[in-house]
Amino acid sequence: MSTTPTQHDRYAVIGNPVAHSKSPFVHARFAEQTGEPVEYGRLLAPVDQFVAHVRAFIDEGGRGLNVTVPFKLDAHAFATSLSPRAAAAGAVNTLRFEKDGGIYGDNTDGFGLVRDIEVNLRVPLTGARVLLLGAGGAARGVVLPILERKPHTLTIVNRTASKADALVAQFASAASDAACRLTGGSAHAIEPGAYDVIVNATASSLDASLPECDDGAFGADTLAYDMMYGAQPTVFMQHASKLGARAADGLGMLVEQAAESFFVWRGVRPDGAPVLAALREMLRAPQSA
């Protein structure tokens, strides 16, 4: 008895560089888990040819893309409609190509961060004192999802205080709706006492440096979360651990934002936990070091 081969829908991650991306591994596991007919690859595009490469992918039958550095702003401009969280972030990491030719842009980064913290790490953000280090694109993408969890306080700190001030102004209305105290500025804006959650959204871990932060912000009940990840704990995580805090990296955020992208595309939400465990083991393997 012959069977007709399943027609797989094409998805990919686009970036430059993109060879290092773990997204194909993650989405292959999601496809296996859910039974969705998904084929997922990598798409390397020259920095000035994002639109041309996306158009070609669509013409070849592509259904959606994850978008990584340096194209999140290009994807935001390319989309014909945006989710509220993508509009707030000013950047897009997920594109869905509609049958009518429309291009839907979403940003799942903040959702991934919140879900990793609350579900995987079991730290509630509701009513929490949260300190966000950094005011660049990574920080901007997570402010609204954090506020939606109704924390008690969100303090945004950046070396250039005016950038933190701009985020405070941008999200003042959302903070009011969430009954959250939203403050910011330079490191001097950090309030006395240990925070419940500290999120490092700066790129400091890339060059093994520490973001500006008062050591008094870390306590025994603090979750110190670095958006970066690697085979070894980041300098920020090591510093936080020495100060008695619980430290976590951003690998879970990577998996959970991917799970949300999968949901945006397929309407099915995969379970990130087993994929995160498999990815963690892969990172620990000698060849990944």
Active-site annotation, residues: 72
Residue 151 preceded by cis peptide, ω within 30 = no
Q: Which two tokens stand for residue 151?
A: 């924390």
Q: Does residue 174 have a known ligand-binding role?
A: no
Q: Does residue 250 have a known ligand-binding role?
A: yes
Q: Does residue 137 have a known ligand-binding role?
A: yes
Q: Does residue 229 have a known ligand-binding role?
A: yes
Whole-number Cα distances in Å, 64 to 90, 105, 240, 249: 19, 10, 38, 27
Give the integer Cα–Cα distance in Å for 111 and 108: 5
Q: Does residue 109 have a known ligand-binding role?
A: yes
Q: Does residue 193 have a known ligand-binding role?
A: no
Print the SS3 string covering 130-187. Answer: EEEECCCHHHHHHHHHHHCCCCCEEEEECCCHHHHHHHHHHCHHHHHHCCCEEEEECH
Bridge partners (DSSP) of residue 181 are: 153
Give the integer Cα–Cα distance in Å for 150 and 260: 21
Q: Which two tokens stand for residue 52?
A: 């041309």
Q: Does residue 138 have a known ligand-binding role?
A: yes
CB 135 within 8 A of CB 167: yes
Q: Does residue 150 have a known ligand-binding role?
A: no
Q: Does residue 284 have a known ligand-binding role?
A: no
Q: Does residue 108 have a known ligand-binding role?
A: no
Give the integer Cα–Cα distance in Å for 234 and 270: 28
Q: Does residue 107 have a known ligand-binding role?
A: no
Q: Does residue 93 have a known ligand-binding role?
A: yes
Pairing of strands 103-106, 94-97: antiparallel
Identify the DSSP state of 228.
-
Q: Does residue 21 have a known ligand-binding role?
A: yes
Q: Does residue 237 have a known ligand-binding role?
A: no
Which residue, among 110, 55, 59, has the nearest Cα to 78 in the 3D structure? 55
Annotated binding site for shikimate: 21-23, 68, 93, 109, 229, 257
Annotated binding site: 21-23, 68, 93, 109, 134-138, 158-163, 227, 229, 250, 257
Annotated binding site for NADP(+): 134-138, 158-163, 227, 250
